[in-house]
Amino acid sequence: MSIPEVTVDELEVALAAGGRVIDVREVHEYTDGHVPGASLVVLSTVPDHVDAFRGEPAVFVICRSGARSMQACQYLAEQGVETVNVAGGTMAWILSGRPVVAGDQPS
């Protein structure tokens, strides 16, 4: 099953157009710094929160480097939920010089 992926450049454009991003890292990783507007659904709890990934606009899934978010996207695809993986994850976002938000709130 092929999972669509975007770069952080494409994610930034999508978020500006109203896209949603969900971070699947652990709580401490998220609070240390996340993409502005990102909601948190820890990877181990994705099966309990499938509905959070449904709907429009498109949902982008991010983690540290793209591996855990790909796992989440693959699981969600098996549940009939279309999501988009962010290649390179939060590290690529940070390395690109984009801002992050610390704390337990999306923004």
- CB-count exposure of residue 48 (10 Å: 0-12, 13-18, 19+): exposed
Q: Does the domain made of 5-95 have the CATH classification 3.40.630.20? A: no
pLDDT tens for the chain, residues 1 to 107: 799 999 999 999 999 999 999 999 999 999 999 999 999 999 999 999 999 999 888 899 999 999 999 999 999 999 999 999 999 999 999 999 999 999 999 88
pLDDT of residue 16: 95
CA distance readout (Å), 85 to 6, 43, 59, 103:
6, 13, 9, 23
Indicate which residues carry an active-site annotation: 63
Cα angle 49, 89, 50; round to 5: 10
